[in-house]
């Protein structure tokens, strides 16, 4: 993990992508990636992992991840073994310190269908992102060209993370994640419209719920050391308007049953 993190820090330090929070450490994983076979997948870390409601950097007991300021560094190229260890530790212990529960608690109810949890040391799950760098604005406000550039130019980092892990199952949260994962992995997931997943709308046209299943064997053209089972859903559990508790329960039930039949 430290070698991958070092590569991430070098890339962040050399990046001219103005959207990235250049002072915030990359987040290789939320939870210990080396300690689990199951991970959820998102787009990229929220800036709320580093700042409060007013955009002020989190400090002391509120801090979740390290920054140049917390590590007393001028730039990331100054980071040595001790700093790398501190960043890795903040990732591994994330769910047992000050996690961003407004985001992770609801997704954990989906993960629970597998018998694992972000908050369980005995049967842990973790979370990784397509892009390990936080941005200073919401992902959806970036242009399509910028989103595509950031994801494609850093897809090898996701591949390295998976290659270094024991992951067997990836759970994709939301249509954007599904679409981008298919692009960088070259994986065509099977889509199925699911009863009981639709989201009601006032105009009478419900938003259908779609389940995705498949197997990932490579990322950006390089073969992975093992096949990775992939389950996904089009609703972003935290962000999609009108995601009810009933829909969340139905998705969790599907994840449990589908993961079991694919062992």
CB atoms within 10 A of CB 225: 10
For 122, counting Cβ atoms within 10 Å of its Cβ (0-12 exposed, 13-18 middle, 19+ buried), the class is exposed
Residue 31 lies in a domain: yes
Mean pLDDT taken over the chain: 92
Residue 141 lies in a domain: yes
Q: Quick one: pLDDT band at residue 260, thresholds 50, 70, 90? A: confident
pLDDT in tens, 42-65: 999 999 999 998 989 999 889 999
Question: Strands 126-129, 190-199: parallel, antiparallel or unpaired by DSSP?
Answer: unpaired
Q: Which residues pair with 24 in a beta bridge?
A: 67
How far apart are alpha carbons 13 and 2 in whole angstroms?
Answer: 16
Q: H or E segment at 13?
A: helix 2-14
**Assigned token pair, 253:** 């039930």
Q: H or E segment at 208?
A: strand 207-219
Give Cα 81 distance to the centre of its chain.
Answer: 25
Return the CATH number at 196: 3.40.470.10
Place of tokens 């130019």: 153
Q: Which residues pair with 129 in a beta bridge?
A: 42
Asked whether residue 9 carries a pLDDT value surpassing 90, the answer given is yes
Structurally, the chain folds into a number of domains equal to 1
Residues contacting residue 93 through CB under 8 Å, at least 6 positions apart: none
How far apart are alpha carbons 113 and 13 in whole angstroms?
Answer: 39
Q: Quick one: pLDDT band at residue 249, thresholds 50, 70, 90? A: very high
pLDDT in tens, 173-228: 999 999 999 999 999 999 999 999 998 877 778 889 999 999 999 998 899 999 99
Asked whether residue 261 carries a pLDDT value surpassing 70, the answer given is no
SS3 167: coil
Domain of residue 106 covers 27-56+100-261
- Nearest partner of 45 among 73, 6, 19, judged by Cα: 19
Residue 72 lies in a domain: no
């Amino acid at each position: 993990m430290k070698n991958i993190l070092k590569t991430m820090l070098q890339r962040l330090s050399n990046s001219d992508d103005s959207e990235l929070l250049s002072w915030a450490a990359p987040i290789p994983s939320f939870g210990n990636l080396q300690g689990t076979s199951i991970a959820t997948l998102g787009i990229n870390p929220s800036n709320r992992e580093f700042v409060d409601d007013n955009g002020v950097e989190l400090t002391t007991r509120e801090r979740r991840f390290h920054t140049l300021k917390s590590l007393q560094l001028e730039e990331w190229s100054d980071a040595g073994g001790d700093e790398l260890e501190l960043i890795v530790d903040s990732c591994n212990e994330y769910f047992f310190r000050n996690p961003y529960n407004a985001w992770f608690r609801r997704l954990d109810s989906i993960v629970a269908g597998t018998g694992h949890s972000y908050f369980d040391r005995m049967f842990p799950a973790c979370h990784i992102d397509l892009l390990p760098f936080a941005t200073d604005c919401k992902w959806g406000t970036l242009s399509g060209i910028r989103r595509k550039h950031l994801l494609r130019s850093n897809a090898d980092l996701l591949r390295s993370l998976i290659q270094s892990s024991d992951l067997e199952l990836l759970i994709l949260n939301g249509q954007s994640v599904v679409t981008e994962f298919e692009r960088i992995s070259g994986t065509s997931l099977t889509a199925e419209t699911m009863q009981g997943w639709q989201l009601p709308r006032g105009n009478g046209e419900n938003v259908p719920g779609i389940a995705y299943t498949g197997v990932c064997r490579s990322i950006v053209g390089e073969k992975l050391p093992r096949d990775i089972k992939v389950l996904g859903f089009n609703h972003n559990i935290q962000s999609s308007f009108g995601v009810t508790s009933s829909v969340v329960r139905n998705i969790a039930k599907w994840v449990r049953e589908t993961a079991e039949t694919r062992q």
